[in-house]
Structure 1
């Protein structure tokens, strides 16, 4: 399914379509945080975009009913029978509900299934979902440009977020635990960082692009002994051959070589040997402090996977931010299955539900410190943190984290929860600062 929607430029289509729908939709007058977020997108982003983009949005409006009907047909065909078996809700009724949600709340048919809005109780709160296009098509940029309504500092941390090597350097500058970096490879040139020996260290290695996301083009090289390594696709190579392979690949993109990190022994059974990470959301609050609002624990499923990406076959479980306890896990695919929620890890039967993560208070403290010290000019951050035997370790940072995963795994909208309220508070202050500067 991912290949199909990629071929359509699916993300671009849904953003333009949803943007057109929200821009001219009528919002309730309920003074809720979720409604304010929607209204902020509707009013503020419309004035931010260029004339050409406004013309595109207006031109898209006549095609909205047709596109909604096509999407409803496609995704009902993919998911309808499974949902009918699970809930007893007929195919026609599912399609009708999808169209109603799209017209009323700008929630397109794929998200009817992703957010399980075939559940009548959840559908009552459909307007409280924060859509990805709202955040990624303007609200994140608005928050960054005006620093959430606070004075904009001379130095911004955004450049340290995009480049993984600069991110690690920033973390080290502020004493934030992060993974070692052995080598960087760019345009055929190898630069030593934390490794001073010849060739490669005789350990398992993890290689990822310096600038990339979602684990694309990442590889793992397991050390077999006697100077031999095996890549995750089964290819064997010597240290020199591995380096030559990296030199050639670096002509297209730069890479970072790191030791392969291993999950804490208490959670080692929740995965296939791939490092599991926790996506932790933190946001600036009313006191100017940084507050953790949500967290999900991600696990790889596919035996060939080298990352735990939720949108490419992995599963994730909600984490109670107060206790570090896991809820049920599920996948993030476009399709649904009858047994789509898991209490146990499918490969080995390891318990997921009610499992408590180690070092949880330390992880919360690490995220709050990192946000407040090294990245305080970012209003909202999605952190990727691993739990190792020696404690939490910062892996990556996302300046525009996706809300879809949080709301699917949390089995409900965040618009009127703590995250939505903080988002609305920061947007309210941003809008005031923006209008004051005009």
Structure 2
């Protein structure tokens, strides 16, 4: 893990010209001490930490590139955790470290199912993996695929954005499409989709997955979504690294920033809900088994087997009323949350041994 951290830091901005890499790294070297100090103070004050602990967080940031946010989240002042600083995957090194591994596996830039949701839909169709129906594709204000706007609930999703940016869920009610305070007639929706594709680029129109009826009393109408992290060894075998279930908080359409819980990967059992109040309805999910869990694990393993140039992937699976559906896969997958909820570094999973095969 130490070697991966070193290579990851060295590889930052590697896709840019030499002068840009030099400028970016110089700026980081100058600004990191200042930025990490302000973050250490802010996080320390939020946790009512002693000044000595805030200073410790800053010194670790300056000398060992440990982000102060993760210092406090992982409680790295504890002796048993401090002794394992290099066993964590930190957000500042996450992207570059994973890219180092992917390059070692033969990754090259270009369109692929991981970065393009339309290609992911084609990928799922080719492999026989169940995914939400793709109804239409728009680009730069023009419709490229599909028919007229259907009379049903719709998702509008930019094909190439992450973290739910630009995603919109529209509900079909009484002959109109509704989203929050907006109401569109069917004729207006087509113009809206065209405008969306001009603003956000290629836009997919997909069906809305309805929640599993057994989950509605706990989390409402939006389906539970599992993030399952897989790792691919040199011999092509795929292992399950970790998994968590997440759902939107009240008033949100997307799972980003939502409530979550770890999933026991062997059984699909939902563990303790992270940060939910004791009176939260979602507490009723604790201990429940996600439906068709072994099937879901087989699906993500099959998917990763057919994407050999990615060492680690995070798969999003919706547990709808018609069974599990594969939403997308991601080259970045939230190691921060997994390490925070388990209280253990990512090196305690198969991540470390798989990464060692490539570096």
Shift of 1:184: 1.5
Query: Is the counterpart of residue 308 in structure 1 residue 255 in structure 2?
Result: yes
In 1, are the aligned partners of 2:228 and 2:315 still within 8 Å (CA)?
yes
Q: Structure 2 CA distance, aligned partners of 1:75 and 1:184?
A: 43
Aligned to 2:328: 396
SS in 2 for 1:213: coil
Q: Does 1:98 align with 2:46?
A: no
Classify 1:413/1:250 alpha carbon distance in 2 versus 1 (closer, same or farther; 3 Å).
Answer: same
1:42 Cα deviation from its structure 2 partner: 5.3
Alignment of 1:145 with 2:103, yes or no, is yes
Q: 1:60 to 1:241 in 2, by over 3 A?
A: closer
Question: Structure 1 residues 100, 417: closer, same or farther in 2, change over 3 A?
Answer: farther
Which residue among 248, 271, 289 is the counterpart of 1:356? 289
| 1:248 and 2:206 matched | no
Specify the SS of the correspondent of 1:415: helix
Aligned-pair Cα RMSD in Å: 2.8
Q: Which consecutive residues of structure 2, in runs of 5 or more, have no partner in the other structure?
A: none
Distance 1:43 1:212 in 2: 26
Q: Identify the structure with the greater strand proportion.
A: 2
- Per-residue CA distance 1:9-46 (angstroms, 9 max, x = gap): xxxxxxxxxxxxxxxxxxxxxxxxx2232243356669
Q: Is the 8 A contact 1:344 1:351 kept in 2?
A: no
Q: 5+ residue gaps in structure 1?
A: 1-33, 82-89, 331-340, 428-438
User: Is the Cα contact below 8 Å between 2:67 and 2:90 reproduced in 1?
Assistant: no
| Distance change (3 Å), C-alpha of 1:270 and 1:158 | farther
Structure 1 residue corresponding to 2:244, chosen from 272, 285, 296 = 296
Offset, 1:283: 0.9
Shift of 1:59: 6.4
The count of corresponding residues between Structure 1 and Structure 2 is: 357
Distance in 1 (CA, whole Å) between partners of 2:94 and 2:170 is 37
Provide closer, same or farther for how the CA distance between residues 266 and 67 of structure 1 changes in structure 2, counting only shifts above 3 A.
Answer: same
Contact kept, 8 Å, 2:7 with 2:100, in 1: the verdict is: no
Q: Is the 8 A contact 1:229 1:236 kept in 2?
A: yes
Give the distance between the partners of 2:278 and 2:358, measured in 1 at CA.
38
Distance 1:98 1:386 in 2: 38
**What is aligned with 2:272?**
328
CA distance in 2, matches of 1:46, 1:261: 38
Q: Which residue of 2 aligns with 1:202?
A: 151
Question: Is 1:277 aligned with 2:230?
Answer: no
Which of the numbers 57, 68, 93 marks the counterpart of 2:25?
57
Q: How does 1:79-90 map to 2 (within 5 A)?
A: 79-81=46-48, 90=49
Match of 2:84 in 1: 125
**Higher mean C-alpha deviation, range 241-250 or range 38-47:** 38-47
How many Å separate the matches in 2 of 1:376 and 1:423?
A: 14
Aligned to 1:237: 184
Instruction: Give the Cα separation in 2 of the matches to 1:204 and 1:59.
Output: 47
Residue of 303, 306, 324 corresponding to 1:370? 303
Contact 1:184 1:257 in 2 (8 A): yes
Cα distance in 1, alignment partners of residues 309 and 29 from structure 2:
37
Cα 1:220/1:49, change in 2 over 3 Å:
closer
Would the alpha carbon gap of residues 120 and 213 (structure 1) be closer, same or farther in structure 2, given more than 3 Å must change?
Answer: same
Output aligned runs, 1:34-49, within 5 Å: 34-41=1-8
How far, CA to CA, are the matches of 1:410 and 1:251 in structure 2? 42
What is the rounded CA distance, in whole Å, between the counterparts of 1:74 and 1:122 in structure 2? 22
Q: Deviations over 1:284-316 (max 9, x none)?
A: 12542111111111111132x111113xxx121
1:161 aligns with 2:110: no
Question: 3-state SS of the aligned residue for 1:161?
Answer: coil
Classify 1:94/1:107 alpha carbon distance in 2 versus 1 (closer, same or farther; 3 Å).
same
Given that 1:186 and 1:254 are in contact with CA atoms closer than 8 Å, whether structure 2 keeps it comes out as yes
C-alpha separation in 1, matches of 2:16 and 2:121: 34
What residue in structure 1 maps to residue 169 of structure 2? Answer: 220
Query: Is 1:74 the equivalent of 2:42?
Result: yes
Whether contact under 8 Å (2:276, 2:283) holds in the other structure is no
Q: Contact conserved, 2:136 with 2:144, CA < 8 A, in 1?
A: yes
How far has the Cα of 1:48 moved from its partner? 8.9
Within 1, Cα distance between the matches of 2:15 and 2:113?
Answer: 26
Partner of 1:379: 311
Q: TM-score, normalised by structure 2?
A: 0.88
